Structure 1
Amino acid sequence: MSEQRNGIARARVGETVQGAHPAGLRVGAAAGRQVLGIALVAAFLWALRDRLASLDTNAVLAALARLDALDWALALGATVLSFAALARYDALIHRMLHRPTPPDAARRAGWTAIALSQTIGFGLVSGALVRWRMLPETSLAQATKITATVAATFLAAWAVLTAAVLLVAPIEHPHLTVWAVQGLALLGLALGGALALAGLKLPGLKVGRFTLRLPAPAMLGKILVLALIDTAFAALALWVLLPPGSELSLLALYPAFLLALGAGFVSGTPGGVGPFEITLVALLPATPEPELLAAILAWRITYFGVPALAAAALVALRPGRALDHPRIVAAPLDCPQIAHLVAQDRQAELGLMRQGELGLLRCDRTPGGWMAGRAGRTLAAVLDPVGTQARPELLAALKAAARAEGRRASLYKISARTAAVARRAGWAVAPVASDVWVNPQSFSLDTPARSGLRRKLRKATKSGLSVRAAEGPLPMAEMTAIAEGWRVARGGERGFSMGRFAPGYVAHQQVMLAYMGKTLVGFASFHANRSEWVLDLMRPAEGAPDGTMQALIAGAITAAAEAGVARLSLAALPPRAEDIVGPAAHIWRRAEKGAGAAGLRQFKMSFAPELSPLYIAAPSAAALALAGAEIARAIHRPAALAHLAPAQPAPAPDAPPALA
């Protein structure tokens, strides 16, 4: 039924998740497993030696001869349905491992590897090699990881499924009462429930030098359903091959069939041959042995032989080919083609891609793309599309890319126009923040709404503060010292859709510097292009005069006006908790606690800005809630960047308290 039924089910958990390396596939180790399997087969034979001695071989052959064409056709049809479930199972594992493999290619490689490995044995090796051949874009190490994960996850699903079946239809056992069998089944179900909860609470669990990445409960549920379909049709293929007049029902066969599979798992022989037959005979004493063994022999021809021949032909004649699929391009701004695409776009904030957490999601069949990143199990496209307007095809490309990685798709900080396109496509849409911006060309301090800003600027001027746009090399040593002091004082920086200080990152931005005499006391950096500037970092030194940040922004507005820029954004501002109704209000209130949200709002609103709504969207309301939580976590608890010192999450003066 799959290579996990040939002994690779004993693969270590670490191999299934960390990616078993080809170096670990030593011939000696594999041979050792086969020797163990042969020893176990011998133990089974010895235990049942009396029954085997009385077996009538001629009766088995006679029972096999009584099967007609309809029996064979029905068994072959059940085999096809079982393998269809197995193929989908393999595609699901690719999604769980976040492999960007097209589902059709994953299914084709999966059933081919299963058909061959369950017949020739050495499941971990043969299954990995077949997948490697069928998926040219996949390395041998990745193919081994996929194969081992298929084994371990199916083994877990088999255990839970067998427990559930035994609870409903307990078998008769000479040494165990029905209550004992059902008690063991309940224990198995409890362990399965604990595994599901662990997948929800502990997506990553360290086990020695390996990292166990448990599937989400929804993914575990899908795996369990596919295992049910697979094994049920496999059992049906055997049941229809029983001789006419057999009184064994499918419901009575199924639990014994599952337990016989377990015996095959342990043995490590190809297809569990030997232990499977002996266990099934022992668990079904009421069925005449010649008829049962004849059915098993016919089943092995149908379920193992025919698929193996088809798979061998496919591997020999039709090796897999890399297919076009959406992808996130690494280090996109280092590529001239992508750099040109980004430079021509109106959204200056695309400079966030230099931080390394976001990349450009492209699809060869669709012009343009999305700036996107991974937040937990969410693939989030940030801002509006790059190089084009929002269209349904781009939403479909994003969903396809997310589905290929086993993630949910989401849009974050999109404009009202893109939100409208998403809403028409059936996506759930909700407001998440407001873009706070001014027009430098018409900006004036001489308005009543900016009286508070004027007072701050006068204080800064009286203190001797001066502000200027950086020209030439940046005073990077002083800026680094200020940024580090700011980070330490606040415990860290936010990330994902918010910038973090790094010399190579800030060097590509427009920077405003604040001095007291010759001493740098603060700076602000902006994503900048010909059409807009967007505030990114604000870093005051300890003891900087009151009004330093206001003076930096006012200086940037003047510099942007001189450069002919029509729009300067002070970055996104989340809604006030008191403006939110329903369950979300509690979330916003908690987010605002200790985050300096009121001061941040007062600071930005002192510029009397324009406000443009920004939205978050996902294919469903449930996906929207989960995506919002994961994006918030990615912002507040970002992973350390390779070129940054490890940082802990903390409120930043230029950061809203939740999703911004």
Structure 2
Amino acid sequence: MSTKNSTSTALAVSEGWPTGAPHRNRAPSWARALRRQGSLLALLAGFAWLLRDRLAHLDIGAILSAFAQVTPSQWVLAALATILSFAALARYDALLHRTLRTGAAEREARRAGWVAIAISQVVGFGLVSGALIRWRMLPGQSLFDTSRLTAAVAASFLAGWAMVLSAALVFLPYEMPGHVGPGLRGLGAAGLLTGGALTVLALRGPALRIGRRSLHLPAPPVMGRIVLLAFLDTAAAASALWVLLPQGAAIGPLDLYPAFLIAFGIGMTSGTPAGLGPFEVTILLLLPHEDPAPLLGAILAWRTVYYGLPALAAMAVLLRSQTRKTAHTGRVTPASAATVPDFDALIAQAPQAEFGLLHQGEHRVLTCATGKSGWLLARTAHAQVALLDPFGPTPRSELLHRLRSTARADRRVSCLYKISPRIAVDARRQGWHVAPIARECVLDPTRFTLDTPTRAGLRRKLRKALKAGVTCRKAPDELPIAELSRLAQAWRAARGGERGFSMGRFCPRYLARQQIVLAHVEGQLVGFASFHANGREWVLDLMRPACDAPDGTMQALILCALETARAAGITRLSLAALPPEAREIDGPARLIWSHTERAAGVAGLRQFKMGFAPRLEPRYIAAPSRAALALAAADIARAIYAPPPLSAVASPPRQTTLAAPRVARASRSS
């Protein structure tokens, strides 16, 4: 089975694609295989014809003599480069185990990965032999799991190899025979553009619709790691060949690398064991100025050290491995000793009332093993986001470290969102990149008064509401769900949907956990506002005015909430956060924020909240690197303005532990 033809299957298996209904009149397997290999065989025949003069004069004795002249230092250097190559390719398994969430331990995954690759690339039938070897070495995995992983490894390596080859063709100063060079550079540029386009699509969302099918693209950080591993792997493999060339060889490593990548890819997709034959023919074609005999002698030595020795070592490891057990010893089980928190008590005692977002069902609590410290955790396509400040006595430096480790194990970037200046300082001390993201609008109900010049506009709005007959009161214990639902549905239809992620969405079960204030005109509901609440603060969540609500209705609702909170002894009421104004931002981001303000009605929301003359408290976003910060910010913006349907994500609050993050594994397989 060729790797190239296995790649389409690999994508289907790794992403759960339907592979298509079977055809009734399918050709025999040998005929299908012949068709698959026909173009490649024709290509190789053309190469052989072009090289007929050089191949006709090959001296087997000269090739063996060149092989015998390899010095001990060359063998040592080639062996070291081989070790580096296999160290890189073993990480494919760790990365893809993590991506596919198999739960396998990273050390065992790496060992199984390099053993499977070392053997399967020599014996051929990479998808079959690689899957069987991984299945034997990973007792906690089913044959289906290892088959899916092996297919994903093959596909991911080919994708990474294609990007590395494209970059090499564009940027390296190589020489190719005839007019091949310009064409290859154009092909490399097209490959880079394709890779860039796929990265942009992955930023927009993990699923790419192609007709009736969905291709689930890996997160850009995962894409980057795949390309990096492919570069390290192939660069070390090419170095192993280069150091084995005769001392007088004129070819430099930068000239050899593009030719090596092309030959390596053709060899992999040929289906022959270790690419034997197609690799040599391609190298001779792309390096016409090199003497064939010494070059083939070096390739023979390279095959010995790069394929033969690792295969022997892998066979020894495989024979020593234990017989496959049925117990899932390779899986990391959740920490059963972790104390599951009382979520109602946690929300009531949390440092911020916005922990009430847990009742929406989208988010979870990420705790330490004791269950007494942690974060409110949200997940996006590419990021694991700790919302708000952490809770509990565990040192924040430890929480940051564990959050980052857990995100890495879940193949996502880690991020902090809407954190206070105090947590932002701690994150910066830990080397995280921090940026202002919003300003929270805070009022003190016990000191609030309308009798100030800064609230003159608010007084005018309230007079209009009073004149229109608007009356506000705290909602009764039994909410008028039918009226609230009709009003919320009309509001959603008029505005094209609701925001999500860190903003609540209408749900009767969710509202039942909040403080609600209702506005009526002559007994008819014209608006309501809901608040997250604990014993210390209220935080504005939903504002839903009717389409025909009188001017000043929402201001009247907030005033009623202030009075109700004051009567309950609450000293802090937040009108939630506002994004920074576009004019306060420098650089290209200013254009983005300007567009967001116009599209999302931010200017009107800012005018509404600032009418209460609140105290402004900065809020920040943080991530371990600038790239992670940009990726997480884009992901959060998409999750806010284009959230998934609430019915698809809502569930009872969940808890995961920070104490034992899952670790995954990875590999490359032919």
**What is the TM-score normalised by the length of structure 1?**
0.79
Please, which runs of 5 or more residues in structure 1 have no aligned partner? 646-660
| CA apart distance, 1:195 | 1.5
Pick one of 305, 308, 319 that aligns with 2:314: 308
| CA apart distance, 1:494 | 1.1
State the partner residue of 1:87: 90
Structure 1 residues 252-291: aligned runs within 5 Å: 257-276=260-279, 286-288=291-293, 291=297
Sequence identity of aligned pairs in percent? 49
1:642 aligns with 2:651: no
1:604 aligns with 2:601: no
Pick one of 200, 209, 214 that aligns with 1:211: 214
With 530-539 and 11-20 compared, the bigger mean Cα shift is at 11-20
State the partner residue of 2:186: 187
Instruction: Measure, in 1, the Cα distance between the counterparts of 2:313 and 2:30.
Output: 25
Structure 1 residues 370-385: aligned runs within 5 Å: 370-385=375-390
State the partner residue of 2:8: 11
Instruction: Measure, in 1, the Cα distance between the counterparts of 2:18 and 2:137.
Output: 19
Instruction: Measure, in 1, the Cα distance between the counterparts of 2:392 and 2:29.
Output: 52
| CA apart distance, 1:474 | 1.8
Pick one of 319, 330, 333 that aligns with 1:321: 330
Q: Aligned with 1:202: secondary structure?
A: helix
State the partner residue of 2:127: 124
1:158 aligns with 2:155: no
Instruction: Measure, in 1, the Cα distance between the counterparts of 2:558 and 2:580.
Output: 22
With 395-404 and 536-545 compared, the bigger mean Cα shift is at 395-404
Q: Aligned with 1:479: secondary structure?
A: helix
Instruction: Measure, in 1, the Cα distance between the counterparts of 2:240 and 2:585.
Output: 58
State the partner residue of 1:525: 530
State the partner residue of 1:201: 200
With 250-259 and 501-510 compared, the bigger mean Cα shift is at 250-259
Q: Residue type of the partner of 2:408?
A: R
* TM-superposition CA deviations, 1:41-100 (whole Å, max 9, x none): 998799979999999989988887777866654443222111012123444556777988
With 257-266 and 163-172 compared, the bigger mean Cα shift is at 163-172
1:234 aligns with 2:262: no
Instruction: Measure, in 2, the Cα distance between the counterparts of 1:436 and 1:202.
Output: 35
| CA apart distance, 1:386 | 3.2
Instruction: Measure, in 2, the Cα distance between the counterparts of 1:379 and 1:29.
Output: 48
State the partner residue of 2:349: 344
| CA apart distance, 1:20 | 5.7
* TM-superposition CA deviations, 1:613-658 (whole Å, max 9, x none): 222223344544443343223212223322699xxxxxxxxxxxxx
With 99-108 and 420-429 compared, the bigger mean Cα shift is at 99-108
* TM-superposition CA deviations, 1:253-278 (whole Å, max 9, x none): 65554444233323324433454456
2:472 and 2:518 in contact (8 A); partners too: yes
Q: Residue type of the partner of 2:210?
A: V
Instruction: Measure, in 1, the Cα distance between the counterparts of 2:229 and 2:574.
Output: 50
1:100 and 1:404 in contact (8 A); partners too: no
Instruction: Measure, in 2, the Cα distance between the counterparts of 1:24 and 1:59.
Output: 54
1:412 and 1:617 in contact (8 A); partners too: yes
1:540 aligns with 2:545: yes
Q: Aligned with 1:523: secondary structure?
A: strand
Instruction: Measure, in 2, the Cα distance between the counterparts of 1:86 and 1:263.
Output: 18
State the partner residue of 1:650: none
Q: Aligned with 1:545: secondary structure?
A: coil
Instruction: Measure, in 2, the Cα distance between the counterparts of 1:364 and 1:18.
Output: 33
**What is the TM-score normalised by the length of structure 2?**
0.77
State the partner residue of 2:513: 508
Alignment coverage as a number of residue pairs: 628
State the partner residue of 2:663: none
Q: Residue type of the partner of 2:421?
A: A
Q: Residue type of the partner of 1:479?
A: L
1:298 aligns with 2:304: yes
| CA apart distance, 1:480 | 0.8
Distance 1:415 1:300, change over 3 A: closer
Instruction: Measure, in 2, the Cα distance between the counterparts of 1:210 and 1:596.
Output: 35
Distance 1:479 1:88, change over 3 A: same
State the partner residue of 2:474: 469
With 470-479 and 335-344 compared, the bigger mean Cα shift is at 335-344
Distance 1:133 1:434, change over 3 A: farther
Q: Aligned with 2:646: secondary structure?
A: coil
Structure 1 residues 414-493: aligned runs within 5 Å: 414-445=419-450, 449-450=454-455, 452-493=457-498
Instruction: Measure, in 1, the Cα distance between the counterparts of 2:615 and 2:99.
Output: 43
Pick one of 379, 391, 394 that aligns with 2:399: 394
Instruction: Measure, in 1, the Cα distance between the counterparts of 2:553 and 2:311.
Output: 78
Instruction: Measure, in 1, the Cα distance between the counterparts of 2:216 and 2:322.
Output: 34
State the partner residue of 1:570: 575
Please, which runs of 5 or more residues in structure 2 have no aligned partner? 651-670
2:372 and 2:393 in contact (8 A); partners too: yes
* TM-superposition CA deviations, 1:394-431 (whole Å, max 9, x none): 22223223333444332211112111211222323233
Distance 1:413 1:254, change over 3 A: closer
| CA apart distance, 1:569 | 1.7
Instruction: Measure, in 2, the Cα distance between the counterparts of 1:24 and 1:46.
Output: 36
2:135 and 2:141 in contact (8 A); partners too: yes
Instruction: Measure, in 2, the Cα distance between the counterparts of 1:424 and 1:618.
Output: 12
| CA apart distance, 1:350 | 1.3
Q: Aligned with 2:355: secondary structure?
A: helix
1:76 and 1:302 in contact (8 A); partners too: no
CA RMSD of aligned residues (A): 4.6
Structure 1 residues 552-571: aligned runs within 5 Å: 552-571=557-576
With 386-395 and 428-437 compared, the bigger mean Cα shift is at 386-395
| CA apart distance, 1:450 | 4.7
Q: Aligned with 1:642: secondary structure?
A: helix
Instruction: Measure, in 2, the Cα distance between the counterparts of 1:491 and 1:29.
Output: 54
With 44-53 and 276-285 compared, the bigger mean Cα shift is at 44-53
Distance 1:64 1:288, change over 3 A: closer
Distance 1:610 1:153, change over 3 A: same
1:433 and 1:615 in contact (8 A); partners too: yes
State the partner residue of 1:111: 114
Distance 1:67 1:510, change over 3 A: same
Q: Aligned with 2:479: secondary structure?
A: coil
Instruction: Measure, in 2, the Cα distance between the counterparts of 1:605 and 1:254.
Output: 61
1:524 and 1:535 in contact (8 A); partners too: yes
With 202-211 and 337-346 compared, the bigger mean Cα shift is at 337-346
1:101 and 1:404 in contact (8 A); partners too: no
Q: Aligned with 2:79: secondary structure?
A: helix
2:376 and 2:390 in contact (8 A); partners too: yes
1:384 and 1:414 in contact (8 A); partners too: yes
1:14 and 1:210 in contact (8 A); partners too: no
State the partner residue of 2:667: none
1:502 and 1:643 in contact (8 A); partners too: no
| CA apart distance, 1:537 | 0.5
Distance 1:233 1:345, change over 3 A: same
Distance 1:170 1:56, change over 3 A: closer
Q: Residue type of the partner of 1:384?
A: D
| CA apart distance, 1:340 | 4.5
Structure 1 residues 596-635: aligned runs within 5 Å: 596-635=601-640
Distance 1:33 1:464, change over 3 A: same
Instruction: Measure, in 2, the Cα distance between the counterparts of 1:213 and 1:367.
Output: 36
* TM-superposition CA deviations, 1:442-499 (whole Å, max 9, x none): 4445556555545544544454433332333321111111001001111111111111
* TM-superposition CA deviations, 1:315-336 (whole Å, max 9, x none): 537997345899xx9xx9xx75
Q: Residue type of the partner of 1:410?
A: C
Instruction: Measure, in 2, the Cα distance between the counterparts of 1:38 and 1:596.
Output: 58
